[in-house]
Amino acid sequence: MFRWMTIAAIGIFGAGTALAAETIVTKAPKAFLYEPSSGTILFSKAPDETFAPGSLTKVMTAATVFRLLKNGELTLDQTCKVSEHAWRTGGAPSRRSTMFAAIKSEIGIEDLLKGLLVHNANDAAIVLAECIDGSEDDFAARMTELAQDIGMKNSRFANPTGFEDKPSSTTVQDQAKLAEYILENHADYYELFSLPEFTWNKIFQRNKNPLLGEIRNLDGLGGGNDPNDGFSGLGSVDRNGRRVIAAVAGLTSDKHRLQTMKEVFSGAWEFFAIQTIFPAGEPVAEGRVFGGDKSTVPLVSREDVDVLLARGGNLDYRIRVVYQGPLQAPISKGKEVGEVQVIGKEGTVYRAPLVTGEDVGKGSTFNRALDGLHELMFGWIG
């Protein structure tokens, strides 16, 4: 019988006399700070509590269009017609953020994306939705499908604009996943988030992202506001070769959001440093083997296990190895069989795959029979 086996708490690292490390302090009801290159959660507060994102919804709208462009289902020069609904609901008559798209005009996908992300344009969002799926509702279903595909398990989208009459729902952790998805899969379009200005229909507008230019090295993504759930923000900073993503929600004002984002981002450099827990190829644990010429096999990481950890003391972190075992011989070197996890107060903050560190041949008939008897009588304990 083969099952998932866990080697729990194989290491607790940090000096034995060290005090708990300093960490980020924020009054934000919801906040999440993430380092994508190592997959490390640096800070987490109410990560799965939902909120209505308001205009922050448009980041998801953009991501949905990006995927269609990447898959070849759309092209940047393809044009979309501005319907009366899009013009009246999201254009000049709406008295909301708009790119002033003229009714019944034809606008290219590239310009609509610029209007969406630079002008925070509601008409651009609606035109894109109607062009792609015929209606806002059908496009919102596509947005939710993408959200589920990329692991945004607590997010549902009701429209492409973020209008509060039919609110969407998301979490700060899901927003960080969305930013990571865009950075990893659509880097060629990510620069649209930081365009300083865009002129459309002879109307010049500067980028309306309330965080851009206010936080050092921030190059995306956006902000939102909901009458009931307050101000929210999603940003990414690339500083000194290290990129981090932050999401906050439940703030009382635009000023409060900006202050909170600055606090959270600064904490990534003030309180954390990269530490190599295990060099590439170094055994992290031993995996039990069934029916082999060896009873165990080393489990290693292909790359250095680099984790951003608190500078002042790490006693709040544990290391856990989980693998599917016992491993059935013969075993080839380099086979992925499990993962190493770093566990903090908020749960798993980092995980990396583990592979077998060497070949294991098939054991003799006697050894295989002995392993079978051991399993029958005692089971397998990692």
CB 32 within 8 A of CB 151: no
In angstroms, the Cα distances linking 175 to 165, 189, 206 are: 21, 18, 24
Task: Name the residue among 110, 109, 100, 149 with its Cα closest to residue 130.
Answer: 109
Please state which CATH number belongs to domain 30-270: 3.40.710.10
Task: Name the residue among 69, 66, 100 with its Cα closest to residue 86.
Answer: 100
Model pLDDT for residues 66-115, shown as the tens digit of each residue: 999 999 999 999 999 999 999 999 999 999 999 999 999 999 999 999 99
Residue 352: predicted pLDDT: 87
- List the chain domain ranges: 3-17+276-378, 30-270
Residue 275: predicted pLDDT: 80
In angstroms, the Cα distances linking 183 to 147, 175, 243, 270 are: 15, 12, 10, 24
CATH class for the domain made up of 3-17+276-378: mainly beta
Rounded mean pLDDT for each run of 10 residues along the chain, 382 residues in total:
46 40 80 89 93 98 98 97 97 95 96 97 98 98 98 97 94 98 97 96 94 95 96 95 94 96 92 85 89 89 82 68 85 92 76 92 61 47 46
Tell me the whole-structure pTM to 2 decimals: 0.77
